[in-house]
Amino acid sequence: MSVPAVQVRGLRYTYPDGHIALDGIDLDVAAGERVALLGPNGAGKTTLMLHLNGVLTASAGSVAIGGKALSRSTLRDVRRRVGLVFQDPDDQLFMPTLAQDVAFGPANFGLRGEQLAERVRHALEVVSMTELADRSPAHMSGGQRRRAALATVLACEPEVLVLDEPSANLDPVARRELAQTLTTLESTMLIVTHDLPYAAQLCDRAIVMDHGVIVADGAVGEVLSDAELLAAHRLELPWGFTVAPR
């Protein structure tokens, strides 16, 4: 039996104010799966995401990436394996040029010289931004900045890619361009989103969270065609949009 790309067992997290954000999460994600993580605001989706590479430390339970348990001694290796793409590109773009931003991560993991240059070239090529390598991200459009932030993560060659609201605030063309880029990637993917059509377009599996627990887990078409489930957890498809089970 193959080792899951992501394995979470009994994960609990309580914020300092006493709010229980995760209440015993169990989750397996197979290598190569694309999983949409859905739920209302405050469900615990982003909190779960931040546990996958140790940004937050669990109150109880465990996380393993590719069979490697997350711990203080494995933190650096796990962070190399799990790439987080945050909702706000400003959290990841801070260097004078795009190429420098993309080089920052792999350089931090020890890459130098031609290997580093090749890693940067490849990441920019994947997101179709090679010609913008020397431009400041501050002078890019919202869609370009979102793809630039993705490139900074792809340059580290993660096994697992976690994206927080990737389509938020994008115009239709930028939204489509990002989706086209994401569909070319072979990484295991978890997408935290309120954009249900985007989840249907990119993912085969959907997980619904609410109040820190998983309340549904199944094929994306089955989950998104369950109107009663969606309504119970403050999720809603756009008017006129339907998803057939597949």
**Tens of pLDDT along 31-56?**
999 999 999 999 999 999 999 999 99
What is the spatial distance between Cα 52 and Cα 64, in angstroms, rounded to a whole number?
A: 8
- pLDDT-derived band at 142 (thresholds 50, 70, 90) equals confident
Lowest mean pLDDT among 21-25, 115-119, 174-178: 174-178
Percent of the chain's residues with pLDDT above 70: 98
| String of DSSP letters for 133-156 | TTS-GGGS-HHHHHHHHHHHHHTT
pTM tops 0.85: yes
**So what's the pLDDT on residue 71?**
93
The whole-number average pLDDT for the span 77-103 is 93
**So what's the pLDDT on residue 244?**
65
Q: Would the pLDDT of 246 be above 60?
A: no
Percent of the chain's residues with pLDDT above 90: 82
As a CATH number, domain 6-232 is: 3.40.50.300
By 3-state DSSP, what share of the chain in percent is helix, strand and coil, each rounded to 5?
A: 35, 25, 40
- pLDDT-derived band at 120 (thresholds 50, 70, 90) equals very high
The whole-number average pLDDT for the span 66-71 is 94
What is the spatial distance between Cα 239 and Cα 122, in angstroms, rounded to a whole number?
A: 40
Q: Would the pLDDT of 245 be above 70?
A: no
**So what's the pLDDT on residue 168?**
86
| String of DSSP letters for 51-93 | HTTTSS--SEEEEEETTEEP-TTTHHHHHHHEEEE-SSGGGT-
C-alpha distances out from residue 35 to 93, 106, 138, 151, Å: 26, 26, 31, 20
